[in-house]
Every structure is written in C-alpha cells, then in structure tokens.
A = this chain, B = another copy of it.
Amino acid sequence: MTGDKNHKGYSLKVNKGVEQPSSVSEEALQRYKNIKQKPLIIDDYIEGIRSGHRTILSKAITLIESSLPDHQETAQEIIERCVPFSGNSIRVGITGVPGVGKSTFIEEFGKHITQKGDKLAVLTIDPSSQRSKGSILGDKTRMELLSADPNAFIRPSPSSGTLGGVARKTRESIILCEAAGYNVIIIETIGVGQSETAVHSMVDFFLLLMLAGAGDELQGIKRGIMEMADAIFINKADGDNLEKANIASQVYKNALHLLPPAESGWTPMVDVCSAVAGTGISNAWNIILNYRDLTKKNGYFDKKRMLQLKQSMLETINRQLNEDFYNTPVIQATLPQIEKQLFQSQITSFAGARKLIDIYIKKLKGQDG
C-alpha cells in the first residue's frame, strides 16, 4: 500500500517489517454483512481492522470511547492485539482558532494525500466543547469529499470526558487506525485551552494555521503554541487578502527567529496557503515529508515517539495514583477535616499532605491483614 508504490519519496516507507493488511476474504465480507445482527467476537474485530474494514474499525473505536466496563475490557484486548501493527505512519497535529478554515484545509490537504496513494485517518480532539455531541453528522458535512474518499477515514471527537481521558482514547484510536493500514494520521484540535498540548504529545509534526490580521498578528498567539509549531501556514491567502497574508508570514518568521533552536534540528517553516483556491497545499505536505526525512535520518523521529510513549505512561501512572488515592473512602472522609485544620492555621499544607498519605498507606496495608 505504501512503501512498494514508490512515489518518488512521497509515500511513507514501511520501516519495521510490519505485516500489511491482507485483502478481505469473501467469507469475512459475508460475516461483516451481519454485524448489525450479532455481536462481534474479538477475532472479528482484529480481522476486520487488519483488513481495513471501516465499519469494524469504527465500531472498535466506539468501544474505546464507551464508558461501560464490558466495552472497555473488549477495547483493551483489541488494542493490545493491534499494538504490534501500529506505528507505521506519520502523525500530524493541526490546530488553529475557530474560523481559520481548518475543515476546508483538511479536506484539500486530505485529498492531496490520498491522491498520492496514502491512506488517511482524521481524528478530532475537542474535549472542551459540547459541539462534539452531535458532530458525527457535523464532521461528515464539513468534509464532504474526503468522507466519500475510500482512502480516508474521518472520525469526530469522543463526545465527552476529561482532557486526559480524551487524549488516551485518541492515542488508542491512532493504534487501531494504523493497524488498519492508515499511514497518515491527522489529529485536529480546536484552538482553545490545553488540547494543543495533548495533541502535541501524540504527533510527529505540529501544524499551526493562522489568519492574517490587521497588524496585530503577534498579540493573538499563545506563545506556547507557537513554540510547539513545526510549521505555520497563513490560510485564506487569496484575493485581496494575499498581500496581508504575505506580510503576516514575514511577521511570524521574525517571531520564530526569537525562539531557541529545536532539538529536532528542524527550523519551523512559515508560508501562506488558500484551502479555497487550493494553493500552498502540496507545499505543506512536502514540508511534512522533509521533516520526516530529516528527523528519521538524525534519529529524532524515533526518539520523540519513544519519549511520547514514556511520557504517556508516566502521566497515566500519575493520574491513576491520584484517582486511587482520592477514591479511597477513608481519604474522602478525612480530607475535609484536614482542610479545615489547614484553613484555620492549625497545620501546614505539608503536614496535612503527610497525614493523609500516612492514612492512605496504612489503609492499603491493612486491607491485606
């Protein structure tokens, strides 16, 4: 699907000897027709995902997003069996404030990618918004052509949950998409709050879409987000807006010069594009491929992925340790008393913490006695 087509370096190479999806057997196709009638067993999911069956992939992601313990258990088994087939992709984060034209950009960008012969999955992270509740239809409407493209898989945001939970579900969905043969993964995020940081922690390349403003380009940017960007594209660079966009592009280039050099050895690129006019789109994709080539060569690509995996594990451990602690009944019962002592200047925050930890450890040990 990818490495053997050899599009003059445009297609992604299979580096790890990962087994590629087999074609769907007639028998399997027959079975899938009945998926609405009977529940699938794990093997059905694995075979369906590995053969690139989109409805099965979609159903598996629904299990990941479900909060039912049964679903979670099945999902974890599916993920564990898909992990060995994951990783063979380039993961691209795309962000930008509402109105910047993300959907139109991703539609054009996605068509360009699938025309090159690659398979594209688009996932969305939007934990802060109620918008996502009804966004399946929304996203399909937003990206009409891409939705109909057999080489594209579009999946809207999980409908609810904390950022930590949503981030985990997206990480797991990436694994399934990669196991299903999608070798370009776009993670779209709405330009608000902390979701950019979460997306940055799970992608290889981070693309920031901006608009040309009226001379106030820098004031609107969250500095931390600009520091994360591997490329900034000024969208809607068409018609009367083109000159403004070129000026904005220069402003951003100057601003990026102020940042310290990145460990990747990559210099963040700034350019203009117009998703509506279709200009600058292939340039954006070439930049991403250049980035991949550079960082694969200097080792940063793999190093970053390993760091991301480790960071994700440490964050999960931290979250779990805290959840276990605060869900313990004796802690829930004692915390308000300690807080009262704290607020009345009877103890320090350090002593209060130490007391609660001692109670917790004692409780844990006591459960066995």
Give the B-binding residues of A (Cβ under 8 A). Answer: 16, 76, 79-80, 83-84, 86-87, 168, 171-172, 175, 218-219, 222-224, 255, 258, 306, 309-310, 312-314, 316-318, 320-322, 324-325, 338-339, 342-343, 345-354, 356-357, 361, 364-369
Contacts and interface: CB of A to CB of B under 8 A. Distances in A.
Nearest to A344: B84
Contacts of A79: 348, 350-351
B222 A348 contact: no
B342 A309 contact: yes
Contacts of A219: 218, 255, 258
A321 B325 contact: yes
Contact of A313 (B314, B346, B352): B352
A313 B353 contact: yes
Contact of A309 (B255, B321, B349): B349
Nearest to A313: B349
Contacts of A317: 322, 325, 353, 356-357
A268 B339 CA distance: 31
Given A223-B223, A357-B321, A368-B365, A347 B80 contact: yes
Main secondary structure of the interface of A (DSSP, over half): helix
Contacts of A322: 317-318, 321
Q: Ordered nearest first, which 5 A-B pairs have the shortest CB separation?
A: A316-B353, A312-B349, A313-B349, A365-B368, A368-B369
A364 B361 contact: yes
A74 to B, nearest CB: 14
A94 to B, nearest CB: 22
A143 B312 CA distance: 46
A134 to B, nearest CB: 28
A364 B321 CA distance: 13
Contact of A80 (B306, B316, B348): B348
Contacts of A342: 309-310, 313
A87, A175, A320, A347 pick with most chain B CB within 10 angstroms? A320
A245 B57 CA distance: 61
Contacts of A175: 348
A224 B194 CA distance: 13
A346 B306 contact: no
Contacts of A318: 318, 321-322
A348 B172 contact: yes
Contacts of A16: 345
Given A223-B222, A321-B322, A365-B367, A349 B87 contact: no
Contacts of A356: 317
Contacts of A80: 347-348, 351
Contacts of A354: 316, 320
A360 to B, nearest CB: 8
A268 B357 CA distance: 39
A76 B171 contact: no
A203 to B, nearest CB: 15
A174 to B, nearest CB: 10
A126 B361 CA distance: 34
A320 B369 contact: no
A76 B350 CA distance: 9
A306 B342 CA distance: 8
Contacts of A171: 348-350
